[in-house]
Amino acid sequence: MRENIGDQFTLDDMARTANYSKFHFSRAFQRVTGVSPGRFLAAVRLQEAKRLLVSTSLTVTDISHRVGYTSVGTFSSRFRNSVGVSPTTYRQLGGFAPHIPMARRAGNTRTATVQGEIFAPACGTPGLIFIGLFPDGIPQGAPIRCSVLSRPGPYVLTSVPPGTWHLLAHSVALGRESVMVDSPFADDQALAVASSGPITIRPGVPVRHADLALRPSCVLDPPVLLALLDVRTVALGAGAAS
């Protein structure tokens, strides 16, 4: 996918490369990565677009074509929905976001609390730790609930509505934030990730417990599409989520 990011290829093409039937390939791919091949490819393309926006002077139209989109309007819409801001705003912000907006949901009195503990990776020093509940296994779009921790330890997500969610966390090693923005595919273990789920929240079950252990991201992990939090903004107390 990464070597042919701008090409138009199908599930059949990917399965043929792996010498699998497309049905077996799709099942195996989702079992290993947590998402379908198509969703993973879409995420990889948007992650490359993020890199090009902050590391080159290419126009948004040129970037959209380089990562496989034939319509700049479709590209811009999907980028905003996945990253949280438009391509132009992402470039202006230098790849960082002042806050992470949460999805708005209709009021529901039968909410629950998801809580647990986040453990640090065996190597490296994690920076800010973002944790959120998402509809699927890719950290993109607006989380249903989220929080930011300054260090590993207990977390609590309150007012979680009924549904099936994926608990996802990520942290960039201290001092490595610019590396992740300029070169999101860099294999230098700057990014640590963790996941749990799917977690089903049902009315009448007030608390769900889920621990997470951060580990270095690998090539099989879906890209983190959310714009990284601006550490300076959080340090000033401006708030990580709204």
Q: Between the CA atoms of 56, 70, 222 and 28, what dihedral angle is there, to the nearest 10 degrees?
A: -140
DSSP string, 17-48: HTTS-HHHHHHHHHHHHSS-HHHHHHHHHHHH
Kindly report whether the peptide bond that precedes residue 198 is cis, defined as omega within 30 degrees of 0.
yes
Cβ(224)–Cβ(214) below 8 Å: no
How far, in Å, CA of 48 to CA of 37, rounded? 17
pTM, two decimals, is 0.82
Tens digit of pLDDT at every position of the chain (242 positions): 888 888 888 899 999 988 999 999 999 999 999 899 999 999 999 999 999 999 999 999 999 999 999 999 999 999 999 998 999 999 998 888 877 777 776 555 688 999 999 998 765 666 789 999 999 888 888 899 999 898 899 999 999 999 999 999 998 876 555 555 556 655 556 788 999 989 999 887 888 999 999 998 888 898 888 887 765 555 444 445 54
How far, in Å, CA of 6 to CA of 52, rounded? 13
Pairing mode, strands 145-149 and 126-134: antiparallel
How far, in Å, CA of 138 to CA of 15, rounded? 22
- State residue 239's pLDDT score: 44
Q: Between vectors from CA 70 to CA 66 and to CA 73, what angle results, nearest 5°? A: 105
- State residue 105's pLDDT score: 63
Pairing mode, strands 153-160 and 228-229: unpaired
- State residue 117's pLDDT score: 95
